[in-house]
Amino acid sequence: MEHHYDDDCCCGALQVGQEVPDFELEIYDPVNGDFNKISLAEQKKQGKWTVLVFYPADFTFVCSTELADLADEYENLKAVGAEVVTVSTDTVYTHLAWKREEKFLEKASYPMAADPTGRVSRIFGVYNEETGLDLRGTFIISPAGVLVASEINFYNVGRNAKELLRKLQASAHVAQNPNEACPARWEKGDKTLTPGPQLVGKVYDALK
């Protein structure tokens, strides 16, 4: 069941299973070396998965390693049918300067979005009102615009892009095969589960 999100609701951040409200962000495009915009509506129109990777700030430490790790998996993520967008409260001009100066970002070719007012960050519950920075939030949005995966880490714990790829592949698989479920550590090509009365108490046997 899908639930709609009220942008004016005081109940907190968007929850998994809810429809994500349309948003638009200004981006720095490292491929073209130019500024542009990206919107969820356009992503949905193109039938793409959308992966949002929020991080605290440009020119910081753990963030540099995370964005380098993400660059290593970017082509694999795109192969699943996704666009990856990194987001912080910095401006697009700071993104450009960081990309130019930081060697860890040499291979980064994904859109780098700016959310200086924190509007989109607040939708996903990653905006820290006290610091004006984002927490390390990763969100997978289906081509239908539904939030299917959510992860939020504090400032001092970096993420793993290979795990992000695994979760995206699993999400894409069950979207195409709605009667199946992916068990722990499932990777592309592994056995899946088909929930039902016959599987109760027999999961071990089903996966052997």
Asked whether residue 93 falls in the same domain as residue 166, the answer is yes
E strand or H helix at 114: strand 112-114
Asked whether residue 73 falls in the same domain as residue 126, the answer is yes
Active site residue 63: yes
* Domain that residue 185 falls in: 179-208
Asked whether residue 61 falls in the same domain as residue 117, the answer is yes
Tokens of 45: 């129109």
Asked whether residue 92 falls in the same domain as residue 195, the answer is no
Contacts of 137 (CB under 8 A, 6+ apart): 52, 53, 54, 121, 124, 125, 126, 150, 151, 152, 153
Q: What is the structure's pLDDT at 12? A: 58
Of 172, 137, 168, the C-alpha closest to 66 is 137
Q: What pTM did the predictor assign?
A: 0.93
Asked whether residue 189 falls in the same domain as residue 123, the answer is no
Q: What is the structure's pLDDT at 135? A: 98
Asked whether residue 24 falls in the same domain as residue 108, the answer is yes
Domain harbouring 81, CATH code:
3.40.30.10
Asked whether residue 20 falls in the same domain as residue 61, the answer is yes
Asked whether residue 109 falls in the same domain as residue 149, the answer is yes
DSSP 157: -
Asked whether residue 93 falls in the same domain as residue 116, the answer is yes
Asked whether residue 155 falls in the same domain as residue 63, the answer is yes
Amino acid at 167: K
Each of the 208 residues of the chain gets a pLDDT tens digit; together they read 333 444 443 335 799 999 999 999 999 999 999 999 999 999 999 999 999 999 999 999 999 999 999 999 999 999 999 999 999 999 999 999 999 999 999 999 999 999 999 999 999 999 999 999 999 999 999 999 999 999 999 999 999 999 999 999 999 999 999 999 999 999 999 999 999 999 999 999 999 9
Tokens of 203: 């999961």
Total of domains in the chain: 2
Asked whether residue 199 falls in the same domain as residue 131, the answer is no
Asked whether residue 56 falls in the same domain as residue 92, the answer is yes
Catalytic residue among 9, 10, 11, 63: 63
